[in-house]
Amino acid sequence: MSEGNRPYHHGDLRAALVAEGLELTRSDGPGALSLREVTRRAGVSPAAAYRHFRDRSALLGALGLEIQSRVVERMRARTAEPGVADPAEESLRRLRGVGLGYIDFACEEPGWFEMAFFGIADVEGIGPDLARVPPFAELLAALDECVASGALPALRRPGAEFSCWSAVHGCAELIVHGPLRGAAPGLVREVAERVVDDIIVGIR
């Protein structure tokens, strides 16, 4: 708070900007992030940010990466629930948890959810390595496990990740930005479970 004795160099400004950025965007998404505000909060001049990020969207991208790892955490919390014995059933349960965890995150952190894939388009080239996007990798692993356990025929495996991701991501959008925004939690939960169950039936 005391402005007088602040050292000229911040120490770890990059991390500070990310931290303030997370706070700023938590409830209202990317639109709530201004480079001037974030530097103001870090107690630093606006131009200082440019020593660490090429421009505003580069900061958004860094925030997106950070958020992706939190999405994965939320997925893992879901899949870590007590399991069942049968391997096929267990792998399907995990797949379900991956989807529901994703939707949980979107509901709990709508602002962050909006930013999670901000940087994804920056990965140049036609087919960026999907496995390098952590939440996507989680889905791929769950699907592979379904094949290994016999729950999903190997012939049906190729392309299944797109169906799953589409349904789950679309559902999250429906709830966070779409017509279901502000709907009763009970209804939301019901819809989420229906969507996830339907797509799992569909890909098999």
Partner DNA sequence: GGTGCATGTGAACACCATCCACATTGGTGT
Partner DNA sequence: ACACCAATGTGGATGGTGTTCACATGCACC
Q: Which residues bind a copy of itself (CB under 8 A)?
A: 117, 120-121, 123, 125-128, 130, 133, 136, 159-160, 162-163, 165-171, 173-174, 177-184, 190-191, 194-195, 197-203
For residues 134 and 68, give the distance between their C-alpha atoms in angstroms, rounded to a whole number.
7
Instruction: Give residues in contact with DNA (CB under 7 A).
Output: 7-11, 13, 33-37, 44-48, 50-52, 55-57
Residue 44 partner contact from DNA, a copy of itself, none using kind-dependent CB cut-offs of 5 to 8 Å: DNA
For residues 172 and 175, give the distance between their C-alpha atoms in angstroms, rounded to a whole number.
5
Residue 183 partner contact from a copy of itself, DNA, none using kind-dependent CB cut-offs of 5 to 8 Å: a copy of itself
For residues 119 and 102, give the distance between their C-alpha atoms in angstroms, rounded to a whole number.
18
Q: Which is nearer to DNA, 11 or 159 (CB)?
A: 11
Q: Which is nearer to DNA, 31 or 153 (CB)?
A: 31
Residue 33 Cβ vs a copy of itself, minimum distance, rounded to whole Å: 14
For residues 34 and 57, give the distance between their C-alpha atoms in angstroms, rounded to a whole number.
10
- Please, what sign has the CA dihedral across residues 73, 103, 27, 129? positive
For residues 24 and 38, give the distance between their C-alpha atoms in angstroms, rounded to a whole number.
8
Residue 155 partner contact from DNA, a copy of itself, none using kind-dependent CB cut-offs of 5 to 8 Å: none
Residue 130 partner contact from DNA, a copy of itself, none using kind-dependent CB cut-offs of 5 to 8 Å: a copy of itself
Sequence length of the chain is 204
Residue 69 partner contact from DNA, a copy of itself, none using kind-dependent CB cut-offs of 5 to 8 Å: none
For residues 92 and 80, give the distance between their C-alpha atoms in angstroms, rounded to a whole number.
13
Residue 165 Cβ vs a copy of itself, minimum distance, rounded to whole Å: 6
Q: What is the distance, to the nearest Å, from the Cα of residue 82 to the centroid of all Cα atoms in its chain?
A: 24
